[in-house]
Amino acid sequence: MNPLLLSIPALVCSLPAQPTTAVRGLAAHLEVDYAPRLRARADQTPNSPILVRVSPTNAANRQRIEFIGAVAGTFDLRTHLEREDGQPITDLSPLPVTIVSRLPADHGVDLYATTGSWMNWRENYREIMWAAVALWVAVPVAVLLIRAARRPRPAPALPPPPPLPTVAHQLRALLDIARARSLTVQESGQLELLLFRFLDGDKSTSSPPSTANIAATLRDLRAGHTSGPLVLAIERWLHAEDGGEDARASAALALDQLRRGRLQPTHPAEAAL
């Protein structure tokens, strides 16, 4: 047999193993044939550049080494392993791995820290969800408040108009004036008209009577047993040329009796004066 062919396996075994490439922060694995049980070194911590874990496989003497690189670079997994019986690993070939990084060069060994945007929806999705719910509730409340603020306020209620003076009120005022001084021509005519309306039972002032009604009222009042003397006294005072002070005094006495209620009225309205 050719001696050159016999030397090929020895040359292959002497070649250095090719490193296993893994991405920084992502789990990778490799399998080795080694009879003694392996385990991760007890001194590895979360800040170690590589974290390893050893698990058995279905094949005899084959072990599965899982690892995660936290720092970019090339490492030998043997330095992070040890035998379960405590003996040193001297008969195991090198286990080179290369960790390549897609993170910034100065990121450090913390694979979960981030210095990106202050609002990362993957990390703050709960806050974003509650903010959306609060905004959904606040929008209709704000609309109602704006509408309430823009709504015109109701105008204050106007005070009720003062009641119209009745015939009795106007007649009483003119009688008080007649007791204090002489009436003018206009006041005398107004007094006579108010007196006739009052004796006829008209208490309102909104609808003055017509001329025909006044004439009919005068006829009835002159014929009345109690109203006739008062009407005649008023007419002599206001219309007679020779009435003088006697007629005025007689009319004032009759009006005063009417005002004081001594003269019995012929109509119910007379009693209200």
Model pLDDT for residues 224-251, shown as the tens digit of each residue: 666 777 777 777 777 665 556 677 677 7
Largest CA distance in the chain: 183
Domains of the chain and any CATH numbers: 15-100 (2.60.40.10), 167-272 (no CATH)
pTM for the full model? Answer: 0.37
pLDDT tens, position by position, 16-53: 568 889 998 889 999 999 989 999 988 888 888 999 99
More confident residue, 243 or 254: 254
User: Which of 4-8, 63-67, 167-171, 176-180 is predicted with the least confidence, judged by mean pLDDT?
Assistant: 4-8
How high is the pLDDT of residue 121? 61
More confident residue, 149 or 14: 149
Q: Which two tokens stand for residue 49?
A: 């550049």
Backbone angle region of 35, left / alpha / beta, with phi > 0 → left and psi within -120 to 50 → alpha: alpha
pLDDT tens, position by position, 191-233: 778 777 777 665 455 555 555 566 676 677 777 666 777 777 7
